[in-house]
Structure 1
């Protein structure tokens, strides 16, 4: 679970740097976040997203949320709950991503109907 603790810590650093730092500090925080989330498991990513969104719904940059959900969904494409969370998040920042959100939501519905998830 060390990876999850690291991911959560790095996400908080990204949020802090995004809010009140120089462009270089934001770039460094973004690079570290991307490197860490890329090698995190779906479970770790989901836990970080739930924690950070629960603490402050708007704090984590949209690009970081999208990347995180994308990576988690690619790792766990049969997890209806995760797909629904990702769809809801995309709908929240649309309409540019509404088509993608609809696809995720439809796939989640199909999984639930099949009893897969």
Structure 2
């Protein structure tokens, strides 16, 4: 089976070779099939690698799915919750309410430091 980074690259629109933009092709199927049970460290590595290569390349649906799976696997990891929230805000406003909930949960788990936290 292909590694998750390769599968992620395959769903970047300009890399697609097997489907029109309106179709869910083999690349998307393989990405979803693989990410469903992937290790959270592998998913985070894929997300961070692809975002560094082309920040907006990975479609929002693929990013949202990846972060959702990681958040389900690590519900008490404040850093991951904040990273997922930041990513949702990037492609909002449709997901801003979810991003705010993730930030609130992260703040409960690991309160922010500094003067703003005292108020």
Q: Taking structure 2 as the reference length, what is the TM-score of the superposition?
A: 0.83
CA contact (8 A) 1:14 1:26 kept: no
* Equivalence for 1:93: 91
Structure 2: runs of 5+ lacking an equivalent: 112-119
Distance 2:110 2:25 in 1: 40
Q: Which runs of 4+ in 1 moved over 6 A?
A: none
After TM superposition, the structure 1 = structure 2 runs for residues 95-114 of structure 1, keeping only pairs within 5 Å, are 95-113=93-111
Aligned to 1:12: 9
**What is the alpha-carbon distance in structure 1 between the residues aligned to residue 24 and residue 9 of structure 2?**
12
User: How many equivalent pairs are there?
Assistant: 109
Unaligned runs of 5+ in 1: none
Greater percentage in helix? 1
Scaled by the length of structure 1, the TM-score of the pair is 0.85
